[in-house]
Amino acid sequence: MRFLPAGDAALIVEFGDRVDPALNDRVLALDAALTAAALPGVVETIPTYRSLLVQYDPLEIGAYDALVERITALAVASPEGAAAGAGAAVSRQWAVPVAYGGPFGVDLDEVAARHGMTPEQAIETHLSGDYRVYMIGFAPGFAYLGGLPEALHTPRRENPRSRTPAGSISIGGIQAAVASMELPSGWHLLGRTPVRTFHPGRAEPFLFRTGDHIRFRRIPHDAFEPLAHRAEQGEPVAELLTAAADGQGTT
């Protein structure tokens, strides 16, 4: 674990430099512990794959070294209990509907061919993954997922698209993603979900939290529009299979 300065009002607690569920567990455990501790002057945090950015108010934290000591103590206290402690707060399971291929996933056939599969096999492989939300970033509600089956690991496109549809279910390298809005992307588009992971008018604007688990569920193409309409009205459309013990997680 390293403390890296990020200017005069933020620091980064770095647990490692790899994509690794064990590192992400430690990030989430510290994030939960910091939220619970409500240290004076800590403004907000950004959990990522392998680090936690802590934004602070230099006028409110007291001595900087004391803040670092407190965070260190919280991090040291939490790694063993990371899976159990933070896991209880954040591990939720979602079933997310996806319309694959055709106009919904314009890269499906090409990705399948690249891996010597039929499009159906590629869909089955993507559906077999147990995904984990490693990080939400890039855009509001954009979920970076780990857990893509190795048979589908695919280098990013040489030419990124300047626009991809909201709800795109994509893969890039060893990662997968659920896009929250229309965005530029260099990833391969396998399908689309009617789910809106970010809906500013909904009571809970953001559906997913870092640490959530996701399973994809295939829907027929003609089921997309009705579900998209319900999502527009504020329904989650995705199904919460198991809720967190405290129901709130780390927000």
Partner 1 sequence: MTGDAVSARGDDGGGGAVLVLRAASPLATVQDLGRVGWQRFGVSVCGATDAASLSAANVLAGNPPGAPAVEFTLDGGEWELAGAPLCRVAVAGGAFAIAVDGRPVASWRSVTLHEGSRLRIGPAPDALRGYLSVAGGFAVALQLGSAATHVRTAIGGLDGRALRADDALPLAGGAAGSAPAGPDRMLDPASALPPRTLPVRVVLGPQDDYFTDEAVAAFLGSDYAVSREADRMGYRLDGPRLAHRDGYNIVSDGIAAGSIQVPGSGQPIVLLADRQTTGGYPKIATVITSDLAAVAQSRPGDRLRFAAVPLAEAHAIHRAWRSRLAGLAGRLTPVRGDLDSETLLTKNLIGGVVDARRA
Binding site residues, partner 1, CB under 8 A: 4-10, 12, 14, 17-19, 43-53, 55, 58-59, 64, 135-142, 144, 180-181, 198, 200, 205-206, 210, 250-251
Q: Which two tokens stand for residue 32?
A: 């939960």
Q: Looking at beta carbons only, is 160 or 205 nearer to partner 1?
A: 205
Q: Looking at beta carbons only, is 122 or 133 nearer to partner 1?
A: 133
Give the nearest distance from C-beta 222 to partner 1 in angstroms.
29
Give the nearest distance from C-beta 62 to partner 1 in angstroms.
11
Give the nearest distance from C-beta 225 to partner 1 in angstroms.
22
Give the nearest distance from C-beta 9 to partner 1 in angstroms.
6
Q: Looking at beta carbons only, is 200 or 247 nearer to partner 1?
A: 200
Q: Looking at beta carbons only, is 50 or 92 nearer to partner 1?
A: 50
